């Protein structure tokens, strides 16, 4: 994750005192006095008093997307462009003896062949000498990139890839987390290994012990866990199992790489134009000013699209060799196998509370597999959700011969919430407390307290019945669970705003829109400053030629880039007013921009349309660039994100079928910038959460070590017919931290859903569902409806 917490106390910039709004609207919202940098624009009032920000502006590029005229990476066509196909390992663990590309190279129309020299994403041995030298990278999972060919058509490239002869010396393999923990399990790595992580995250703890395939523990200790349990009046202890989920973004990973002597241009489906540029510059020893990365439209990433990736490096090699642009998009099978996943988990969680309902101890031991990578830890919720004096967590990564994990929408947290939020419910019941009351007692985070209160009323929580109340085979139940996420700010966030003499305004930034709608939000921010409408502003983003943009990870995009955009707009506005004031015979201090007009504050008869005023500019263009300044000094708010999900389900206890009847997501994200887009993201979060809870599952076959469902036929993702009614309520939680005070929503909106479904399952049936996915098979087994089978 992009953990760049910023402490502004060291910044020695001139400050001024400002009064700004802080707190939750409808709860404790108030004015607070804060020192902010002198250059900063005046603080924004609450959303009700704004014209563009906080409004339901429709998607800036919506028409372009739905009409197909917005070009995604796969749509890029360049003159002379070639198509590439990867050659992937067909075995899960092997030394590559030889790679024969001669037959492929001889095929007419094949223009370049590349053999992979270094594999990105896998863990690396701490001591490479523990493995015998190998000419080619050791294959650690089936689907690992081995080579690639570029040809004049995709069909030819596929045919040529099949002609590349790879000879393997197979090694013993293990693809099951439990099997891999056994003392005699085949070793994925012959010694301790760590995953560096990609540009956008991933990777687990380094310098932890490793025994066999078991890497860890990474520990977190607060207080005295044994004392915590001896203080407890009630203790619950249980084991929870979650599955591996693949990112399954609609758009697969891919690039079009165009190597030219003067500049390498790469169109990439990425969450980080800058991180892809940096990685390619590093790999190809190019200065950063010779690499340009463009992401104009992007079809989802969920955390798996930060670096250049093996495919990006390979496509660049092929372009360099062939002297032509190379198109390389992964297919769905490659997408499932080789570009990341959410690790599974096997969590043993024990928590205890005193008689009065205060938590006294939380103890978590987790094992999870991130394939041949690390990063399966899932203790975030256990550590950060509740106030508890004694916490002890131990996280173990278990190596298997599977594709390496990548950061995935709140890494570790859906797993962690699934266990923690069920245990919290169970403990509440033991103490005879309502689950919401128990959380009120132990959760100090103000937004969640408000969210629980709102949700209780909106959802009709008090109509919730005793567990297992329905007599018939179909049983209904309600559940709740909550989320914790972190305020992450990326300081490499800059924007430039230009005003032209014809009255047109544009914003430029390297930031990319991965689907959340940052283009629209940026247009709203500039429009607010200029008194225009979002549609009046041209937004040019997703290009490293523009001012540096943040990688979109950790739900940081809106919080990081919008203050820079507002500050650039503000500076451009001041320059604009200074430029036109003389021609209008008004002092620039007396001018305001409102409703498409330039107006005199002192003389209401003096008003010009923005366009007419712009014509008076002394130069053809006025531009201002601004960088993200550090967050203002915190006025004492807790700087996390919350989110509480309420779910009602029905369980057909005879068929094992779970139907989600309705969901309510109550969320916070600082100042809501655009409720329409927030709702879209939260809808997506809830749906991805349901899909994780009920359907998705990567299945690796132990016989050959291959994934048996690398498609969307048997890797099951939620569809329209499984989509319940989703109600959304976003609170306004002003933190007073930046010129827009925006936060993030992507991650907090998905992590509690599976846990809420599990709690609803208990309320429906009176039985705990401690594993995902909750398929009919899992449900019937959990309900004791399946006779045991002796194989």
Q: In this chain, which of 102, 153, 155, 619 binds other proteins, going by CB under 8 A?
A: 155
Q: What are the angstrom distances between the C-alpha of 51 and each of 404, 525, 560, 605, 679?
A: 46, 10, 22, 22, 19
Smallest CA-to-CA distance from 202 within 466, 521, 444, 551 is with: 551
Residues whose CB is less than 8 angstroms from the CB of residue 433 and which lie 6 or more positions away in sequence, other chains included: 357, 441
- Mark the segment that binds other proteins (CB under 8 A) among 127-135, 183-191, 485-493, 701-709: 701-709
Asked if 706 interacts with other proteins (CB under 8 A), we say yes
- C-beta of 371 vs 516, nearer to other proteins: 371
Binders of other proteins in range 456-485 (CB under 8 A): 474
DSSP codes of every residue in 130-142: GS---SSPPB-ST
Q: Which helix (H) or strand (E) holds 23?
A: strand 15-24
Q: How are beta strands 359-368 and 391-398 bridged, if at all?
A: parallel
Q: In this chain, which of 27, 105, 178, 781 binds other proteins, going by CB under 8 A?
A: 781
* 3-state secondary structure at position 30: strand
Asked if 250 interacts with other proteins (CB under 8 A), we say no
Asked if 788 interacts with other proteins (CB under 8 A), we say yes
**Shortest distance, CB of residue 714 to other proteins, whole angstroms?**
6
- Mark the segment that binds other proteins (CB under 8 A) among 34-42, 414-422, 536-544, 699-707: 699-707
Asked if 67 interacts with other proteins (CB under 8 A), we say no
**Shortest distance, CB of residue 719 to other proteins, whole angstroms?**
5
- Report the distance separating Cα 299 and Cα 275, nearest Å: 18
- What is the distance, to the nearest Å, from the Cα of residue 708 to the centroid of all Cα atoms in its chain? 26
- C-beta of 32 vs 717, nearer to other proteins: 717
User: C-alpha angle with apex 64: 60 to 70, nearest 5 degrees?
Assistant: 115
Contact 620, 504 (CB under 8 A): no
- Report the distance separating Cα 286 and Cα 278, nearest Å: 9
Contact 638, 446 (CB under 8 A): yes
Phi, psi for 523 (deg, rounded to 5): -65, -40
- C-beta of 266 vs 760, nearer to other proteins: 760
Asked if 718 interacts with other proteins (CB under 8 A), we say yes
How many residues contact other proteins, by CB under 8 A?
39
Contact 477, 760 (CB under 8 A): yes
**Shortest distance, CB of residue 777 to other proteins, whole angstroms?**
4
DSSP β-bridge partners for residue 267: 256, 294
Asked if 709 interacts with other proteins (CB under 8 A), we say yes
**Shortest distance, CB of residue 155 to other proteins, whole angstroms?**
8
- Mark the segment that binds other proteins (CB under 8 A) among 517-525, 637-645, 650-658, 725-733: 650-658
**Shortest distance, CB of residue 344 to other proteins, whole angstroms?**
15
- Report the distance separating Cα 310 and Cα 116, nearest Å: 8
Which tokens hold the place of 57?
């502006």
**Shortest distance, CB of residue 357 to other proteins, whole angstroms?**
38
Binders of other proteins in range 90-149 (CB under 8 A): 90
Asked if 716 interacts with other proteins (CB under 8 A), we say yes
Asked if 654 interacts with other proteins (CB under 8 A), we say yes
Asked if 592 interacts with other proteins (CB under 8 A), we say no
Asked if 536 interacts with other proteins (CB under 8 A), we say no
**Shortest distance, CB of residue 95 to other proteins, whole angstroms?**
19
- C-beta of 620 vs 721, nearer to other proteins: 721
**Shortest distance, CB of residue 163 to other proteins, whole angstroms?**
13
**Shortest distance, CB of residue 702 to other proteins, whole angstroms?**
7
- C-beta of 84 vs 593, nearer to other proteins: 84
Asked if 8 interacts with other proteins (CB under 8 A), we say no
Is the backbone peptide bond immediately before 773 cis, with ω within 30 degrees of 0?
yes
Asked if 655 interacts with other proteins (CB under 8 A), we say yes
Q: In this chain, which of 313, 629, 694, 726 binds other proteins, going by CB under 8 A?
A: 694
Contact 715, 336 (CB under 8 A): yes
- Report the distance separating Cα 3 and Cα 205, nearest Å: 14
Q: In this chain, which of 465, 603, 714, 725 binds other proteins, going by CB under 8 A?
A: 714
Asked if 239 interacts with other proteins (CB under 8 A), we say no
Which tokens hold the place of 485?
């996420």
Q: In this chain, which of 81, 222, 767, 780 binds other proteins, going by CB under 8 A?
A: 780
- Report the distance separating Cα 391 and Cα 228, nearest Å: 8
**Shortest distance, CB of residue 382 to other proteins, whole angstroms?**
30
Q: In this chain, which of 9, 12, 67, 721 binds other proteins, going by CB under 8 A?
A: 721
Which tokens hold the place of 596?
């498409």
- Mark the segment that binds other proteins (CB under 8 A) among 51-59, 523-531, 594-602, 779-787: 779-787
Smallest CA-to-CA distance from 181 within 159, 220, 211 is with: 211
Task: State the number of CA atoms in the 13 A half-sphere of 659 facing the CB.
Answer: 10
Residues whose CB is less than 8 angstroms from the CB of residue 614 and which lie 6 or more positions away in sequence, other chains included: 499, 500, 501, 502, 503, 576, 580
- C-beta of 258 vs 648, nearer to other proteins: 648
Q: Which residues bind other proteins (CB under 8 A)?
A: 90, 155, 158, 474, 652, 654-657, 659, 694-695, 699, 701-704, 706, 708-709, 713-714, 716, 718-722, 775-777, 780-781, 785-789, 791
């Amino acid at each position: 994750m992009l953990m760049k917490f910023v402490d502004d106390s060291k910044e020695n910039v001139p400050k001024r005192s400002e009064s700004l709004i802080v707190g939750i609207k409808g709860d404790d919202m108030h004015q607070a006095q804060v020192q902010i940098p002198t250059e900063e624009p005046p603080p924004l009032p609450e959303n009700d008093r704004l014209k563009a920000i906080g409004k339901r502006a429709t998607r800036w590029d919506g028409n372009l997307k739905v009409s197909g005229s917005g070009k995604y990476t796969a749509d890029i066509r360049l003159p002379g462009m070639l198509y590439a196909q990867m050659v992937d390992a067909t075995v899960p663990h092997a030394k590559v003896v030889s790679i024969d590309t001669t037959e492929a190279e001889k095929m007419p129309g094949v223009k370049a062949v590349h053999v992979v020299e270094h594999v990105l994403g896998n863990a690396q041995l701490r001591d490479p000498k523990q493995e015998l030298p190998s000419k080619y990278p050791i294959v650690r999972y089936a689907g690992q990139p081995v080579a690639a060919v570029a040809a004049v058509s995709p069909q030819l490239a596929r045919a040529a890839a099949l002609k590349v002869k790879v000879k393997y010396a197979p090694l013993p393999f293990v693809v099951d987390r439990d099997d891999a923990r056994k003392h005699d399990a085949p070793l994925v790595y012959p010694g301790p290994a760590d995953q560096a992580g990609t540009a956008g995250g991933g990777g687990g703890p380094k310098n932890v012990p490793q025994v066999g395939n078991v890497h860890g523990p990474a520990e977190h200790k607060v207080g005295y866990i044994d004392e915590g349990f001896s203080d407890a009046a009630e203790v619950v202890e249980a084991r929870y199992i979650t599955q591996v989920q693949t990112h399954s973004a609609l758009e697969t990973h891919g690039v079009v790489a165009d190597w030219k002597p003067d500049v390498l241009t790469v169109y990439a489906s990425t969450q980080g134009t800058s991180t892809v540029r940096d990685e390619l510059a590093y790999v190809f020893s190019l200065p950063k000013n010779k690499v340009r990365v463009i992401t104009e439209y992007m079809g989802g990433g969920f955390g798996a699209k930060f670096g250049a990736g093996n495919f990006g490096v390979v496509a660049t090699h092929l372009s360099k060799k062939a002297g032509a642009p190379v198109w390389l998009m992964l297919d769905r099978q490659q997408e499932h196998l080789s570009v990341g996943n959410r690790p599974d988990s096997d969590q043993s969680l024990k928590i205890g509370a005193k008689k009065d309902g205060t938590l006294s101890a939380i103890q978590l031991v987790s094992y999870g597999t991130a394939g041949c990578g690390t990063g399966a830890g899932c203790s975030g919720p256990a550590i950060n959700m509740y106030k508890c004096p004694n916490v002890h967590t131990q996280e173990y990564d278990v190596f298997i011969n599977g594709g390496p994990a990548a950061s995935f929408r709140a890494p570790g947290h859906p797993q962690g919430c699934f266990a923690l939020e069920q245990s919290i419910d169970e403990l509440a019941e033991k103490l005879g407390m309502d689950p919401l009351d128990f959380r009120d007692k132990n959760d100090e985070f103000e937004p969640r307290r408000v969210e629980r209160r709102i949700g209780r009323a909106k959802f009709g929580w008090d109509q919730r019945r005793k567990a297992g109340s329905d007599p018939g085979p179909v049983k209904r139940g309600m559940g709740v669970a909550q989320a914790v996420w972190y305020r992450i700010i990326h300081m490499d966030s800059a924007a430039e705003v230009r005003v032209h003499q014809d009255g047109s305004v544009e914003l430029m930034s390297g930031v990319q829109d991965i689907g959340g709608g940052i283009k629209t939000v940026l247009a709203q921010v500039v429009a607010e400053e200029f008194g225009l409408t979002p549609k009046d502003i041209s937004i040019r983003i997703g290009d490293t030629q523009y001012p540096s943009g943040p990688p979109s990870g950790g739900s940081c995009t809106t919080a990081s880039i919008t203050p820079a955009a507002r500050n650039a707009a503000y500076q451009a506005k001041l320059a604009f007013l200074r430029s036109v004031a003389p021609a209008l015979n008004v002092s620039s201090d007396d001018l305001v921009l409102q409703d498409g007009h330039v107006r005199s504050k002192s003389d209401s008869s003096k008003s010009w349309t923005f366009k007419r005023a712009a014509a008076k500019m002394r130069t053809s263009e006025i531009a201002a660039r601004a960088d993200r300044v550090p967050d203002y000094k915190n006025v004492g708010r807790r700087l996390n994100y919350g989110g509480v999900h309420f779910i009602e389900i029905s369980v057909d206890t005879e068929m094992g079928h779970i139907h989600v009847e309705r969901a309510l997501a109550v969320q916070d994200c600082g100042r809501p910038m655009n409720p329409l887009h927030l709702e879209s993201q939260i809808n997506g979060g809830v749906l991805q959460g349901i899909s994780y809870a009920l359907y998705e599952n990567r299945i690796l076959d132990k016989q050959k070590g291959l994934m048996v469902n690398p498609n969307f036929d048997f890797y099951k993702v939620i569809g329209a017919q499984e989509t319940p009614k989703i109600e959304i309520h976003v609170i306004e939680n002003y933190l007073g931290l930046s010129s827009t005070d925006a936060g993030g929503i992507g991650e907090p909106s998905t992590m509690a859903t599976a846990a809420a479904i599990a709690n609803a399952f208990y309320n429906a049936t009176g039985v705990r569902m401690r594993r995902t996915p909750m398929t009919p098979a899992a449900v019937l087994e959990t309900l004791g409806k399946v006779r045991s089978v002796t194989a």
